[in-house]
């Protein structure tokens, strides 16, 4: 007998113990990092991504500016220790460039770039650890980093990677699952349920594709709720930190008036 790990057993459990449609644990950190205007570190299971946003700010090159909107610049770096390969992916790596182009194309219609003509918004994506659904994590982290930076958007963008094992659809795939089954990454705007991204690296039957698309919409609503709660929690903590300063300032003003 071989030692091949079973993707989905007869009881309906996956290799990591999840059910077919069950998402991995989601961890979100929106604390400020360095000089970034906004950042977000997100983990879908063992897949971990950090995104930093700078801007809107003046573009370094005039050729990168538009008179009627902001230019979106996306750079992706994959840490050499993020996979078992121990191989460093450079900025010129084909897959890294594809990730950057996909993220840019996903967010250009969603960010209200017309509010910032002749400026640039830089999005830096660092893939720290990979265990499947990496693009999903990159897009969700980018959404949160942009919100954290105060960049106006028409809606959240929530992404999910799904695939089909035999006739059984599955969501939020691990590396093991991605390597074994056809899969697709779908990004949706939860308010309208509009699909803003569909990217597929392997063939998927049209009937299964429609099923995955509908499941991704439902999963996007779940992710949206968790992401929204993280944003509200971060906002509440910032307000709480500012309150003592405001109250102290108010008392100082009263003293001045009394004098």
pLDDT tens across 57-86, in order?
A: 998 888 878 999 999 999 999 998 776 555
Neighbours of 47 (CB within 10 A): 26
pLDDT at position 255, please? 40
Does pLDDT of 197 surpass 80?
yes
User: How far is residue 144's CA from residue 53's CA, in Å, rounded to a whole number?
Assistant: 10
For range 107-120, the mean pLDDT: 97
Radius of gyration of the chain (CA): 21
Pick the CATH number of 26-242 from 2.30.42.10, 3.30.230.70, 3.30.420.40, 3.40.50.620: 3.30.230.70
Where do the domains of the chain lie?
Answer: 26-242
Does pLDDT of 240 surpass 70?
yes
pTM of the predicted model, to two decimals?
Answer: 0.88
Q: 134-148 and 94-107 helices cross at what angle (nearest 10)?
A: 50
Using 50, 70 and 90 to split pLDDT, how confident is the model at 130? Answer: very high
């Amino acid at each position: 007998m071989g030692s091949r790990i079973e993707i989905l057993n007869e009881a309906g459990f996956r290799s990591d113990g999840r059910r077919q449609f069950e998402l991995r644990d989601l961890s979100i950190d929106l604390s400020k990092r360095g000089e970034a205007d906004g950042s977000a570190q997100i983990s879908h299971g063992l897949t971990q991504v950090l995104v930093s946003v700078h801007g809107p700010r003046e573009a370094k090159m005039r050729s990168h500016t538009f008179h009627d909107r902001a230019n979106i610049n996306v750079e992706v770096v994959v840490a050499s220790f993020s996979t078992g390969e121990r191989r460093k992916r450079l900025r010129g790596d084909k897959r890294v460039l594809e990730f950057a182009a996909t993220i840019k194309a996903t967010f250009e219609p969603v960010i209200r770039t017309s509010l910032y003509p002749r400026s640039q918004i830089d999005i830096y994506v660092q893939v720290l650890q990979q265990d499947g659904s990496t693009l999903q994590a990159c897009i969700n982290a980018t959404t949160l980093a942009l919100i954290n930076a105060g960049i106006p958007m028409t809606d959240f963008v929530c992404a999910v990677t799904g695939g089909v094992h035999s006739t059984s659809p599955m969501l939020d795939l691990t590396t093991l699952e991605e390597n074994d089954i056809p899969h697709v990454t779908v990004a949706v705007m939860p308010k309208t349920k509009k699909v803003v991204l569909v990217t597929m690296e392997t063939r998927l039957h049209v009937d299964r594709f429609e099923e995955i698309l509908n499941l991704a919409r439902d999963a996007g609503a779940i992710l949206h709720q968790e992401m929204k709660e993280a944003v509200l929690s971060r906002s509440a903590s910032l307000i709480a930190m500012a309150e003592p300063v405001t109250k102290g300032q108010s008392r100082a003003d009263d003293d001045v008036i009394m004098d």
